[in-house]
Amino acid sequence: MKPKSKVAFERLKHELLEILSAKFPGIGIEVEHSAKWDRPCVTFRSKEFSGLLPEERFQRLVAVIPTEFREQKMAGLVWVELAEGEALDAFLKLPRSEDIVEREAEIYAQLARAKLCDVLKEAMGSSPDRRCTGDFREMSRLLAGKRFTAEGIRDAKLLMIRYRAYCDCAILLTAQAELARLYADAA
């Protein structure tokens, strides 16, 4: 690696720390060339990622790092978001929304039978965006109350993520209508 690249990587690391430290206290960031991907890679390590799916982790970062900064300074970089103590291999084995494509209709049918959107709407009230905690906390609680397994709740999250919903209010405001339209026969 060229010395200039090391300097640029170190500068990017410090800029990212400035942007992310308030929202992710104690976050660790490494920027280096990855032999695995043969590209520059930024690794974020935070206790805030514990229990989150990879796409949830990524979305949390994207919500804080300004678009212009990402486009100008992070284009082409591989992103890795690790929980504290998590190994890269374990992270790479975590499920992603693309893994459930073949089971989407089945997962949606289970959620429809559980009347997820109805009970979520009732729990969130008339202004779900005001009551939302920015995660799937309420959906997870409701599904657990309906005896969904941990895997069933995970699959529900993955389904919502496939339809650009990363939190409870987005399920109601964006994913619900599209899923109902796509899977009207599955419900």
Chain segment 160-182, per-residue pLDDT in tens: 999 999 999 999 999 998 898 88
Indicate the SS3 state at residue 57.
Answer: helix
Percent of the chain with pLDDT over 70: 97
Q: Which residue ranges form the domains of the chain, and what is each CATH number?
A: 3-92 (3.30.300.90), 99-182 (no CATH)
Residue 1, pLDDT above cutoff 90:
no
Residue 2, pLDDT above cutoff 80:
no
Of 114, 137, 131, the C-alpha closest to 173 is: 131
pLDDT of residue 130: 87
pLDDT of residue 186: 59
DSSP string, 93-124: TS--GGGGGGGHHHHHHHHHHTTHHHHHHHHH
pLDDT of residue 128: 85
Residue with tokens 């960031």, as numbered in its chain: 29
Residue 184, pLDDT above cutoff 80:
no
Average pLDDT of span 5-25: 95
Residue 9, pLDDT above cutoff 70:
yes
Beta bridge partners of 39: 34
Average pLDDT of span 105-112: 95
pLDDT of residue 3: 41
Average pLDDT of span 74-92: 96
Instruction: Please state, in angstroms and rounded to a whole number, the distance separating the CA atoms of residues 26 and 66.
Output: 20
Average pLDDT of span 89-96: 97
Taking CA 169 as the corner, what is the angle to CA 48 and CA 160, rounded to the nearest 5 degrees?
75
Average pLDDT of span 134-147: 96
* CA-to-CA dists, residue 14 to 22, 42, 47, angstroms: 13, 12, 19
Amino acid at 170: A
* CA-to-CA dists, residue 84 to 52, 60, 64, 88, angstroms: 12, 16, 20, 11
Query: What residues have CB less than 8 Å from 46, skipping those under 6 apart?
Result: 24, 26, 27, 28, 81, 82, 83, 84
Indicate the SS3 state at residue 80.
Answer: strand
pLDDT of residue 26: 96
Q: What confidence category does residue 187 fall into, taking pLDDT thresholds of 50, 70 and 90?
A: low
Average pLDDT of span 51-79: 96
Percent of the chain with pLDDT over 90: 85
